[in-house]
Amino acid sequence: DRSIKIAPSILAADFAAFGAECEAAEAQGADWIHVDVMDGHFVPNLTLGPAMCKALRPHIKGVMDVHLMIAPVDPYIDAFAEAGADVLTAHVEAGPHVHRTLQAIRAAGMRPGVALNPGTPAEAVRDVLGLVDLVCVMTVNPGFGGQKFIDMGDKIRALREMIGDREIHIEIDGGVDPKTAPLVAAAGADVLVAGSAVFKGGSVADPAPYGANIRAI
Ligand code: DX5
Ligand code: ZN
């Protein structure tokens, strides 16, 4: 399914109301919910872990899309499976054995994704495309929401070509807004993560702006 899917990143939501924020985002038209896991080591920020994902599971009807910005990954795979993650994405830069990691994610019952930092070429994931359901192209350096979009159009087009007719999503993460979304969609992306562009201007008490923001992307 290559239709455009919007995946709000709850990194830009109210941390004290994550359950209600996920419900509000879905009610306002979110297709997937994107959960950013950071370890203060692979990226210079700390967010949340599998216990929070497990607590959010009953508040998310659709796809829980978990983006791991952690290293190592392997010791935590079972915990995220147990937490109910649907898609579990690991960075290709997170360790020397991404092939093993992606196999382990599949074996644990989740859909594996592989993410690339802006400085990593498309070529770096060629030999694991047979193992994944999703490739996440970072259009910011991971660690924080609200950063400026970095154009990765050539990388997206190269990946679409490499993927061919396989059923693999191309997800874009970072700086997606009504201006940048059409560019990445035209280059071949189908899952658009958006944090600040979705949650700005609204709240759980007044979530209507989320809907307007989603429709504007
Ligand atoms: C960045 C995270 C993103 C981030 C996107 O490290 O992986 O998911 O929340 O936020 P925006 O849409 O505000 O750039
Ligand atoms: Zn993310």
Testing ligand 1's pocket by substitution, the residue of 193, 213, 214 carrying the most ligand atoms inside 8 A of its CB is 193
pLDDT (mean) for 139-158: 98
pLDDT band at 45 (very low <50, low <70, confident <90, very high): very high
CATH class of 5-216: alpha beta
In the predicted structure, residue 217 carries a pLDDT above the cut 90: yes
Indicate the DSSP class of residue 165: T
In the predicted structure, residue 147 carries a pLDDT above the cut 90: yes
Q: What is the pLDDT of residue 158?
A: 98
Q: Is 1 an annotated catalytic residue?
A: no
- Cis before residue 50, ω within 30 degrees of 0? no
Q: How high is the ipTM of this complex? A: 0.99
What ranges do the domains of the chain cover? 5-216
**How many Å lie between the centroid of ligand 2 and the Cα of residue 89?**
9
pLDDT (mean) for 24-43: 98
SS3 216: helix
CA-nearest residue, atom 9 of ligand 1: 145
**How many Å lie between the centroid of ligand 1 and the Cα of residue 163?**
24
Q: What is the pLDDT of residue 13?
A: 98
Cβ neighbour number for residue 47 with a 10 Å cutoff: 19
Cβ neighbour number for residue 154 with a 10 Å cutoff: 11
Q: What is the pLDDT of residue 1?
A: 83
Is pTM beyond 0.95? Reply is yes
Cα distances (angstroms) measured from residue 207 to each of 23, 144, 153, 188, 192: 10, 23, 32, 30, 20
CA–CA dist 217, 214 (Å, integer) = 5
Q: What is the pLDDT of residue 186?
A: 98
Q: Is the CB of 67 under 6 A from ligand 1?
A: yes
Q: Assess contact for 190 and 3: CB atoms under 8 A.
A: yes
Mean pLDDT for the chain overall: 98
pLDDT tens column, 163-175: 999 999 999 999 9
Q: What is the pLDDT of residue 10?
A: 98
Q: What is the pLDDT of residue 201?
A: 98
In the predicted structure, residue 82 carries a pLDDT above the cut 90: yes
pLDDT tens column, 90-117: 999 999 999 999 999 999 999 999 999 9
